[in-house]
Structure 1
Amino acid sequence: MKRNLWRSTAGMLAVGLLLNTTAAGAFAEEGPVGIGEAFAATRCEARQATQQAQMLDAWHLDRLHMEDVWQLATGEGVTVAVIDTGVSTAGSLYFGNRVEAYDFVGISEDERNKQAKVDCMHGTFVTSLLAAGRRDDGGAVHSLTNFAGIAPGVKVLAYRALANSTVEAKEGEQPPPPASLIPVVHSIDAAIEAEVDIINLSLVVQSDAPDFDDFENAVYRAQERGIIIVAAAGNNTDNIGALFPASFPGVITVGMSTDAEAAHPMSYAWSPVTVGAPGAQVVGLAPSMPDREATTANQAFHQDTGTSFAAPIVSGVIALMLEYDAKLGRERATPEQIIARLKATADPPPATAPDPQLGWGIVNPMRALMDTRPAPMASEAAEFTPPPAPPPEPEPVDARMPALGLGVAVGSVLVVGIGLVAAIAIPAATRRPGP
């Protein structure tokens, strides 16, 4: 069945998210504000704090050796635009004042009248994987989890361009058609105006989505300004062809890996994947209760699977790369150079590169910062070394030359022989016998 947007499945948040532009303005505590203006985190539907009886392991941080990487960079001085469902930072100790939220979707009159909360789950989870902070001493914020964002010092501009975290179809019915992509277009233009360094797009659409051409042009405008764009490859339910923005040229497309160092079977294999990153059952944050004190006891956590969540991990790694390069006084890398560096420094896939689901391999933050390549692998098809050239054939030799040489040698021997005979015979003939 053909779909324009992906539907969420159990335990997995959708990569493709419902777009909604039916409202005229966002609603904050102080009253309605205009489209594109500040969005209050208190408007997000919250979750109760996670009751943890044991350690909640953010396995992807250990897999990527982030404790070592954070000694070199945390993303400070880099700005990332997260274009998603919006983000809730209220009631959380993980974000500080590093997140600014804006709404390009708005709230309907009915929602406004009912003081309804909006769905910020997907955007909060994505933003946390990218940018959730640590304590001032570098330790984990919560005593029962090692969780933090990949770039805990980065600044985030969170644009609410998607209305819902999931696209659900009623039983026996087709999934609802996507609404306009115009909120996403406006968000990209706002990110360009804000001169962000990176745009994270954890969403997918097909080319027949409404306002697709405007969306494509907005992506190209951002690329022309040197902004690095990172996109989710998509979650695999059917082979339905090209997905976007993953398939736009110059976009860094991210597949997802598991804790077993393999591609997750849900990672879409029909997008041109650049690299993979952990995306299976990763730990992150959910919107916390905004009316409660920001304490670890009130923090809501979430664990989920999807390429939506692998993408912000790569966005975070790129933020670390940009900060580290600036520290070393390197010239700012172009998006093309960042792509080449991510490919060259990734942990190669188990078979051949590029792998349909993991591209050139699983992102390696330390090598990406240091710009060092992994040890070559016999199976790494991307690093093809041609066999040595065969030795040159000997030049043809004139067959007459050896014969001529032999004749000269024989003649020389004869001349020498005649000379010896003459030297002996002639003196003997001239001698006279005595009387």
Structure 2
Amino acid sequence: MNKHVLLIIGGGIAAYKSLLLIRELARRGVSTRVILTKGGTQFVTPLSAQALSGETVLTDLWDLTAESEMGHIELSRSADLIVVAPATANLMAQAAQGVAADLATTTLLATDTRVLYAPAMNVRMYEATATQANIATLRDRGALFVGPDAGEMACGEFGDGRMAEPDAIADSVMSALQGDMSLDGLSAPKPLAGRRAVVTAGPTREPIDPVRYLSNHSSGRQGYAVAQALADLGADVELVSGPTAIPLPHGTRNSPVETAEEMFSAVKRALPADIFVSVAAVADWRPATRTERKTKKPVDGPAPLQLVENPDILRSVCLSDKRPELVVGFAAETHDVLELARAKRVRKGCDWIVANDVSGDVMGGQENMMIIVTETDEIHLPRQSKTAAARALARRIASHFGGPS
């Protein structure tokens, strides 16, 4: 991509994530130069940031060598994007008020480059009237925001204030570098406000006995990312999820299930809704019987396993008298991906099918490449993180309901 980011690392415990961000951006072809604030040096070292970025780390406004090589004015304008992560309450306050107290704040004051902030602080500090006013000021001046997330913090409190994860920040960086200037995650327009969405995610497990079950390799990441992306656009989201090991999306309701029959029951309870997105990898078959004791290995051959068909959740929703206005299915295929997805859309009766090739590591991996198949169009999305893919799908869903695409 040949793009360059200037990363300002503020003084917060989340600073360690910024080192991971440098590595993630490098993986995506984006080079990084780092300004490390005095507070930031209390959590990470200049040597660590330099080793990962491959560039001299800048810390001092009064460093004559750094100023002779690249003055702070030029530094503030040479990058394609400035990222502040963690963006502490103090850093954002100084930026909002035009304070130029050190290299970081002087750079922010002097720049004409877009700035992306990743807030990180205690929930009380984040919710404070002064902080919210400073955020509003920065936003009005064109700043972009990603996060914060909700969760438990280093201080032991729970709420909004955790810095977004490095891959989510990297997704936002890539979007901004590609011209997406709608990344204000704090008070962005909510085109799906007032809409209800039901999303299924993860695998199902079909028990054979108390020890064994039939299942698949689905991690749940894509479905969880879709649920989060729809919630970020204002939708009231209920996530019906099979067993996973990932955190629940912020701002969604969760209906945990294990089997396909349990998932079907939970989906029926969740309707009516405006949107149904069937991302879950539901087992097509289940054992006809479940033994109460562990099945022992026969001495004269393999144990017989009789299977019966599970309910077709997607087809049933399409035929329901509570059918959502927009029904989106997923087609995970290992071959003939587009042809099988087109046929599945017609067979199931859904509005869209999202085709993806799972012959590699898609089901358990971090990335996906989607093809959105509709009655009249086929939209090919690039290979990208599952978070970015989910956001692209959510924007198209919002566009269907009259929001910006």
Give the TM-score taking structure 2 as reference length.
0.35
TM-score (structure 1 length as normaliser): 0.33
| Larger proportion of strand | 2
- Greater relative contact order (Cα < 8 A, sep 6+): 1
